Amino acid sequence: MKGKRIFNSASVPSEKCIFCRIVRGELPSNRVYEDEDYIAFLDINPYSKGHTLVCPKRHGETLWDMGEDEIGGLFAAASKVSRAIVEATGSDGFRILQNNGEAANQVVGHVHVHVIPVTMENKSRFMSRMSVSASEMTALAKSIWESVG
C-alpha cells in the first residue's frame, strides 16, 4: 500500500482550506485552545454542546501526512482540551473521533480530531447534528478556554 492516497473530494490546497483559514484568522471561530502547533475550536454543527475540533496548524489532509511526533502532539492537545470540555459542559465522558478520507466521513480535508462530550442520559443516543445559538457558542468557548488553563 506504499504510496496509496486516500480519496477525499474535499482535498484543497492550504490557501483554500477552511481550517487553515481559521488558523490564519481569515475566518471566524470559537477558539477554545491554541498553542504554537495546534488549535481547537467549537464545531459549528456539533453532535453535542461543547463538540470541539482539534487540529494541527500545519496543513495535512490525513494522519499519513503527519510525523509520529505531530500525531502525538495532536492527541496530547485533544486530551488536554477534553478535560476542559468535560468540566465546562458538566459531561460524564467524551468521545474521540478521527476520520481519514471521504469513505470515513472526513468532510474537511485537514487532519482534525473531534472531542465530543457525552452525558449518561445520551450515551446510547445516535449521534446527530444539532443547532447551538451564536451567543451560547461564544459563552461555551469562553468557559472551555478558561478551563484549559
* Catalytic-labelled residue, pool 51, 59, 110, 112: 112
Q: Judge whether 59 counts as a catalytic residue.
A: no
Alpha-helical regions (H) of 17-133: 18-23, 68-89
Q: Is the dihedral of CA 115, 121, 123, 129 positive or negative?
A: negative
Residue 68 Cα distances to 31, 41, 63, 85, angstroms: 25, 23, 9, 25
Alpha-helical regions (H) of the chain: 18-23, 68-89, 134-148
DSSP 25: T
Helix axes 134-148, 68-89, angle to 10 degrees: 110
Q: Which grid coordinates belong to 110?
A: 485537514
Catalytic residue annotation: 112
